[in-house]
Structure 1
Amino acid sequence: MPLPTMTHSSSFLRLPATSSPHPPPADDASAAYAVVVLNQRLPRFAPLLWDRGILLLPCLDDALRSLFEVWCGLTDDDVVVCGVSWWVARAARLRVCADGGANRVFDGMPELLPAEDPDQVRMRSTAASTSVFFTMNSFLPILGCQRYKPDVIKGDMDSIRPEVKEYYSNLGAEIVDESHDQDTTDLHKCVSFITRNPPGSEESNLYILVLGALGGRFDHEMGNINVLYRFSNIRIVLLSDDCSIFLLPKTHSHEIHIERSIEGPHCGLIPMGSPSASTTTTGLRWNLDNTSMSYGGLISTSNIVEEETVRITSDSDLIWTISLRN
């Protein structure tokens, strides 16, 4: 029996006015996107993702300071602007900070509106105007509701300042102390939270885009890649300035729609979890034909995308990575 097909696309990185040789895959059109921000340098396209109008924002410990130096998130009755995908029309109203990320919201948001009193920025009434205006040089929303109040603050509670914790608690934010859990990473905790509180109606349509997952300490990078395997039923994309990474589970065959204006040509297929006795591809310069791959043997790194669609089947879970263009 043939395997079901899973489609993949990086169209969320495409500018809204940019044309593409193919439309987003059918399941992308109904995708529910979530963004996770880790405590690493943000990729250059992060403002694009932030401004797309996405669904859910778990921001990890100390991550929001650099985030809000660049962007301004905003909410109205239907939309939380914290991420990706121009074809997403509705969004969940849920904002999550991990521990010290709440400090970044508290301090960083008023810095984006220096002409306003900081407390007025944080406490803007829900009865205020919900019109939104943007200029070429800044994102300065004029928006109602307590848009800078996180719905949930999660983590070890060892980084959040006491006055920030008290401030948001008094505004009704849920405080979740997870200091008892020292066995999972911040990304693992956030992905777990998203899967328990999905922004869409179907888990199969959920995409989690992770900014700041690559770079820095190698053990942190490996921990983030391990999360792909721990949640192999969820589409999680790790993003940096240089590349994107996601898991191709062996339960499906895969069609990867290449966005040539933003990605490629360099790519790789890596059997990180276990060896592959049989992997077959089309659309690459050096295709695999029922080929075995393993560490200490052959792995398909430094390959080149040749066609608009790359097709892959394997008897093992594989990591797919592709370079991102400047």
Structure 2
Amino acid sequence: MSITKWDTSFLRGAEPKARSPRKRALIILNQPFSIPLLKSLWASTEWHCCADGGANRLSDVLGEARRELLPELIKGDLDSLRDDVRGYYESVGVPVVYDGDQYSTDLMKCVSALEEKERAEGTEQHDIIILGGLSGRLDQTVHTLSYLHKLRHKRQRVFAVTDENVGWVLDEGEHEITIDHSVLGQTCGLLPVGIDSTVLTTRGLRWNLTEHESSFDGLVSTSNHLDPEHDIVYVKTTKPIWWTAELRS
């Protein structure tokens, strides 16, 4: 079985973009974020979409500079989008699309819009960067965990980012994660979400595991540390598992 390789170069902004052969899409959720994080992710991505009230967040954090970062799309059931924000973005040509499907969340609707774009243009999959989704209401956080767990069946790379954390699902098998210690902080975790249990082997962490079972009823590897002596973390897992790492301020 081949080893899946991961990196978080998108956190560094525009510099890695030219080097990456993969296209990236940014989906902004209705949760707080800082301007530095927004600008780094925006510069690293080619397509930008606000999920309903995510447009409020984008508009409010940018203020008078909001015309500098215009999304390609605002989509959702639009129950959170303020009238003033909708009016502004429509006035500068940003499409605002209503989707009233009650069986999908605003995040799911934005992912569907990206998939329609990929099919229409005949392009390869974008890596998806979700800004938000790991903070705020617990039910929304659990939805993010669940949805990314399901997305692994059809999307190769989907990341969730907040000002505090970055996380994604490692499917069953072997993985190598390139660690940029200038961007990632000290703590990390491997979370057995959505599975009964998994067997983990790791290298490159301060406290490594060797064929160790992990489950909610047993061991959960939280508050582990990245080893500053290693730039690669190796993870072997028998079931899908969430990887999370702290971001530096």
Measured against the shorter chain, the TM-score band is 0.7 to 0.9
AA of the residue aligned to 2:114: I
Return the offset for 1:189. Answer: 1.7
Partner of 1:275: 196
AA of the residue aligned to 1:228: L
Return the offset for 1:60. Answer: 1.4
Return the offset for 1:5. Answer: 2.0
Return the offset for 1:34. Answer: 0.4
Q: What CA RMSD, in Å, does the superposition of the two structures yield over aligned residues?
A: 2.6
Return the offset for 1:228. Answer: 0.3
1:209 counterpart SS class: strand
Q: Which runs of no fewer than 5 residues in structure 2 stay unpaired?
A: none
Query: Quick one: distance in 1 between partners of 2:109 and 2:20?
Result: 27
Distance 1:103 1:9, change over 3 A: farther
Partner of 2:240: 317
Distance 1:102 1:13, change over 3 A: farther
Distance 1:35 1:101, change over 3 A: farther
Question: Would you say 1:48 and 2:46 are equivalent positions?
Answer: no
AA of the residue aligned to 1:97: K
AA of the residue aligned to 2:212: T
Higher gyration radius (CA) = 1
Query: Identity over the aligned pairs, expressed in percent?
Result: 29
Question: Would you say the 8 A contact 1:61–1:101 is kept in 2?
Answer: no
AA of the residue aligned to 1:247: V
Q: Which residue of the other structure, out of 107, 116, 124, is the alignment partner of 1:187?
A: 107
Q: State TM-score, norm by structure 2.
A: 0.84
Question: Would you say 1:104 and 2:25 are equivalent positions?
Answer: no
Q: Which residue of the other structure, out of 3, 10, 13, is the alignment partner of 1:12?
A: 10
Q: Which runs of no fewer than 5 residues in structure 1 stay unpaired?
A: 18-23, 75-80, 84-93, 110-118, 123-147, 156-177
Question: Would you say 1:66 and 2:57 are equivalent positions?
Answer: yes
Return the offset for 1:73. Answer: 5.2
4+ aligned runs moved over 4 Å, structure 1: none
CA-to-partner distance for each residue in 1:116-145, whole Å, 9 max, x for gaps? xxx9xx4xxxxxxxxxxxxxxxxxxxxxxx
Structure showing the higher helix proportion among its residues: 2
Query: Quick one: distance in 1 between partners of 2:138 and 2:44?
Result: 32
Query: Quick one: distance in 2 between partners of 1:271 and 1:73?
Result: 41
Question: Would you say the 8 A contact 1:267–1:303 is kept in 2?
Answer: yes
Return the offset for 1:82. Answer: 6.1
Partner of 1:308: 231
1:208 counterpart SS class: strand
Aligned pair count reads: 235
1:241 counterpart SS class: coil
Partner of 1:227: 147
Distance 1:200 1:54, change over 3 A: farther
Q: State TM-score, norm by structure 1.
A: 0.65
